[in-house]
Chains A and B, each alone.
Chain A
Amino acid sequence: MKLNSPLQVYKYLPQINCAECGDTTCMAFAAHLIDRSKKLENCPPLLKDEYKKKYMELQVLIAPEIRDVTIGIGEHAKKIGGDDIIYRHQLTFFNPTALAYDVWDTMADSELVERVNKIQNFRKFYVGKFLRVDMVAVRCVSGDALRFAGAVKKVSETTKLPLILCSFDPAVLKAGLEVVRDKNPLIYAATENNWGEVSELALNYKVPVVLFSTDLDKLKSLALTFREMGIKDLVLDPGTYPQGKQMKETFDRFIKLRRAGIKEGQKDIAYPIMAVPLNSWIVYKDVVTASYWETVLASVFTVRYGDIMILHSLEPYAMLPEVHIRDTIYTDPRTPVKVAPGVNVVGSPTKDSPVIITTNFALTYYTVESDLSSNKINCYLAAVDTDGIGVEAAVAGGQLTAAKIKDTFQKANFDFKEKTTYGTLILPGLAARLQGDVEDATELRVLIGPPDSGRIPGWMEKNWPPKQK
């Protein structure tokens, strides 16, 4: 964004401190505009006619450096791009890299449906949410426009995920667009050879479009030309070579594009960037090798500025790291990683259910909570206030102590006599050394669970209900 201090933004605000935005002052609201936790529309006075000019100006001044582009419609629509920074600690990256997995038009219908379902049903629980993948890329392998349209139709009947239509033949793209014209698919790709016809398609169907060239001069020419024609929703594919020096040059191009867009404010090329790790499959035929290398390429370009990528492998050992590395890079470093401390209920505990101790670090808490609920273990789960530190580090750093544990139950008015038959606590295996202290402080029996909460179900079978002493 062009403005980077609250003071600069403040000049454009009504300056009446009416607090309708939820902040007590316009200056505070300005700071939230800068860190993008609030939007212009959160200030009702600014939307009135008298401020229209300021509103319009501000809209341009605080727009992200990299244009954002939306693909698809409805709740599954995915926004890509929209970044303002080069390193994640400077603020946070917005709009996580969209992961698109391919299908192709020579697949039998049943295969196609099965593959699309695999893509849209993939999920991995992590810190209170499911990590998922985002899009389906339909490739025209047949070279036949009708056949391609048929495949696009089948895919769009099977999923609401956004689509990428892939072909260098404008007639093929057009046939596909006819089928999903109201679904805002991304079309791939315009090149220096076909750009005239592809630009017509982008204009006529009002869809976002990928520009492809490994030559950055040409890529910029394409972007300028499309922009001049009024096409703003552009994605740049500078080519993803899978190997060798060419791969290194690919890496260079990603860095150059993003540096030009953000650091140098070169609006002409400030668009989301596409990577195609799928190219791994053109050089490696063995499934494991190709999947591994594809995941490696995907990771490099998740860390370094890929906003959308096309992938092939649906092997779990490829998809799991792919969704995790994306989450790693796009996690907002500003958001606290804590949950509220207290004694929570998992399932529907009875007097015979266990009372389990963990910390209020979100990663720890959600991991433990999901291990318990997924395995239908009814219990009380106490999130001790460790300032958002995990078990092992909190024991080492003194945030998880017997006193803190006792305090958690006191604050929650948790009466062991009334609520439990066994008067027993279960400590994490990694907090074993607190056992004696906790027994002394709480006058309860303390059992030591396994080191990993994923092992609680098996442990319970052997150790619960607790044997009489």
Chain B
Amino acid sequence: MTKKIKLSELGSLLGGLDIEALEGVKIEGDVEIDLGQMGLNPQMAYALGHETAQIAFHLMNISKILGYPVGQMPGAPAPATKRLSKLIESKFSVGRMEEWKTNIQEVVLGATSSDGGSRKSTVTLGGEGALPYYFDAAMPHRNHITMDVFDMPINMAKAVKGNYEDVINSPPEWAKKVVRDFGADMVTIHLISTDPNIKDTSPSDAARTVEDVLQAVDVPIVIGGSGNPEKDPAVLEKAAESAEGERCLLASASLNLDYARIAEAAKKYNHVVLSWTQLEINAQKELNRKLIKQCGVARENIIMDPTTAALGYGLDYAYTNMERIRLAGLTGDTELNFPMSSGTTNAWGAREAWMVSSPLKEDSDWGAREYRGPIWEIITGLTLSLAGNDLFMMMHPTAVQVLKEITQTLYGSKEAEPFNLENWVSAVI
């Protein structure tokens, strides 16, 4: 049985190709292609981009699609490629990371009554033997979230503020709310009123606030200073004393303040030190070394904060800094193999998180800001979770909920219904 294909049909089949270029290709009857005058091996010519040969090659392909017996075409070359009728069998395998030999230090926050504290539960961070969620070694502890509480009303993005208006004047009530309603694993009390440039409240006032918060909730807590390098050591000392035995995280020791005093307070009253540096792996190493060697802080009492910059505002630095620190730890740098903490709340500093709309007329519409803020916080945290961050300091309840969901999914503790992956192609969404 012979089928004929007309030149005009070919023209439309060939679409974009210039029909005049078909000169020199004779088509007869059963899609015969006469390559006589060309004097070239068509396959070679094709490879060289010879126009006519290219057309011929296309013709062959089309014929094949249309079901013509291409191999029998006079003068036609053997196809450039073979056709296979069976899949080539194979096995995939890949090795584990042999160079990850050192585990991250395990650190426990909070102490129960049996350990001299009054917390109902504790939080354990660290212990990893691989990058987060990698199959090379099981991740012993999930990520945890500590939510921010301030000791006085502060400026907050509108989307955040709405959640705290009823408790903004009461740190204990605020702390209760984040644990009870928003699923915080821990609470951070920021003693910002102690800043001499803000209210200059006394270290004893601060200590009382810490006691109130410890009374109000039974989860482990983080005690944060105001960030004032002159005042913070005194404030954290006093707060540490009033929280004796509770294994709080003291935030923070840094190179630009008297870190030795903070280390001393942690040792004396049984707390953990947050070793905070600004996006610099060598500075982080230096501070950790000083805390261990010079101040005698035990390894199980150190957590690092290598600094968090928001998505679009230096997250590239923050991400890579953390990833490098974690890789250094896993490959044997015992001055860097500590759990990490992130001030994820910094994400709210990004204008995309809080501005009503873009200040640039050229931008596409930014949409409603109440949805932009939480996701900015989520993606900032999520990115760092992939780099090795263990503990997240956060503010927005939705951000907390979603970050928990994804980090616990990657950790492997979430179940899901069976799912057919082929459906999306034809799904009505």
Chain A residues at the B interface, C-beta cutoff of 8 Å: 87-89, 102, 104, 106, 121-126, 130, 139-141, 143, 166-168, 174, 178, 181-182, 188, 192, 195-196, 199-201, 203-205, 214, 216-222, 224-225, 228-231, 239-248, 251-252, 255-256, 259-260, 264, 266, 268-269, 276, 278-279, 281-283, 288, 292-293, 295-296, 299-300, 303-304, 310, 312, 315-321, 324-325, 327-329, 331, 333, 363, 370-371, 374-375, 393, 452-455, 457
The complex places the Cα of A182 from the Cα of B17 at a distance, in Å, of 9
Stretch at the interface among B161-169, B208-216, B367-375: B367-375
Q: Which residues of chain B come closer than 8 Å to A240, judged between CB atoms?
A: 421
Find out whether the CB atom of A143 lies under 8 angstroms from the CB atom of B426: yes
Interface contacts beyond A174-B65, A241-B421, A264-B95: sample of 10 additional A-B pairs, CB < 8 Å, sorted by A: A89-B324, A124-B364, A204-B64, A217-B91, A221-B90, A282-B424, A292-B375, A316-B365, A374-B359, A457-B359
Q: How far does the Cβ of B332 sit from chain A's closest Cβ, in whole Å?
A: 17
- Once A124-B363, A316-B367 are accepted as A-B contacts, the answer to whether A329 and B316 lie under 8 Å apart by CB is yes
Which of A122, A217, A264, A310 is close to B90, meaning CB atoms less than 8 Å apart? A217
Find out whether the CB atom of A141 lies under 8 angstroms from the CB atom of B428: yes
Q: Which residues of chain B come closer than 8 Å to A200, judged between CB atoms?
A: 64-65, 83
Is B409 an interface residue when CB atoms closer than 8 A count as contact? yes
Q: Which residues of chain B come closer than 8 Å to A89, judged between CB atoms?
A: 320, 323-324
Could you give, for residues 303-318 of chain B, a 1 whenever the CB lies within 8 Å of some chain A CB and a 0 otherwise?
0000000011111100
The 5 closest A-B pairs by CB, nearest first: A244-B416, A230-B81, A316-B367, A182-B16, A454-B359
The complex places the Cα of A283 from the Cα of B416 at a distance, in Å, of 10
Q: Which residues of chain A come closer than 8 Å to B362, judged between CB atoms?
A: 123, 125, 130, 370, 374
Chain B residues at the A interface, C-beta cutoff of 8 Å: 13, 15-17, 61-62, 64-65, 80-85, 87-95, 133-135, 278, 311-316, 319-320, 323-324, 327, 351-352, 355, 358-368, 371-372, 374-376, 378-379, 382-383, 386, 402, 406, 409-412, 414-417, 419, 421-429
Find out whether the CB atom of A317 lies under 8 angstroms from the CB atom of B351: no
Q: How far does the Cβ of A332 sit from chain B's closest Cβ, in whole Å?
A: 10
Find out whether the CB atom of A214 lies under 8 angstroms from the CB atom of B406: no
Q: How far does the Cβ of A264 sit from chain B's closest Cβ, in whole Å?
A: 6
Find out whether the CB atom of A325 lies under 8 angstroms from the CB atom of B414: no
Find out whether the CB atom of B364 lies under 8 angstroms from the CB atom of A123: yes
The complex places the Cα of A282 from the Cα of B427 at a distance, in Å, of 8
Find out whether the CB atom of B65 lies under 8 angstroms from the CB atom of A188: no
Find out whether the CB atom of A269 lies under 8 angstroms from the CB atom of B92: yes
The complex places the Cα of A242 from the Cα of B409 at a distance, in Å, of 10
Which of B85, B316, B376, B409 is close to A333, meaning CB atoms less than 8 Å apart? B316
Which of A255, A312, A319, A454 is close to B351, meaning CB atoms less than 8 Å apart? A454
Provide a sorted-by-A list of 30 A–B residue pairs whose CB atoms are within 8 angstroms.
Answer: A89-B324, A106-B428, A124-B364, A199-B84, A205-B61, A217-B91, A221-B87, A224-B90, A229-B82, A245-B412, A248-B133, A248-B410, A248-B411, A255-B134, A255-B135, A281-B424, A282-B423, A300-B386, A318-B375, A320-B366, A321-B375, A324-B311, A324-B352, A325-B311, A327-B312, A329-B319, A374-B359, A374-B360, A375-B361, A452-B351
Find out whether the CB atom of B84 lies under 8 angstroms from the CB atom of A243: no
Find out whether the CB atom of A268 lies under 8 angstroms from the CB atom of B416: no
The complex places the Cα of A104 from the Cα of B133 at a distance, in Å, of 35
The complex places the Cα of A393 from the Cα of B278 at a distance, in Å, of 10
Q: Which residues of chain A come closer than 8 Å to B320, judged between CB atoms?
A: 87-89, 333
Find out whether the CB atom of B359 lies under 8 angstroms from the CB atom of A375: yes
Q: Which residues of chain B come closer than 8 Å to A231, judged between CB atoms?
A: 81
The complex places the Cα of A242 from the Cα of B412 at a distance, in Å, of 13
- Once A224-B88, A292-B378, A370-B360 are accepted as A-B contacts, the answer to whether A203 and B402 lie under 8 Å apart by CB is no
Q: Which residues of chain B come closer than 8 Å to A243, judged between CB atoms?
A: 409, 414, 416-417, 419
Q: How far does the Cβ of B265 sit from chain A's closest Cβ, in whole Å?
A: 26
The complex places the Cα of A437 from the Cα of B62 at a distance, in Å, of 78
- Once A251-B410, A259-B94 are accepted as A-B contacts, the answer to whether A125 and B83 lie under 8 Å apart by CB is no
The complex places the Cα of A304 from the Cα of B376 at a distance, in Å, of 19
Q: Which residues of chain A come closer than 8 Å to B361, judged between CB atoms?
A: 374-375
Q: Which residues of chain B come closer than 8 Å to A327, judged between CB atoms?
A: 312
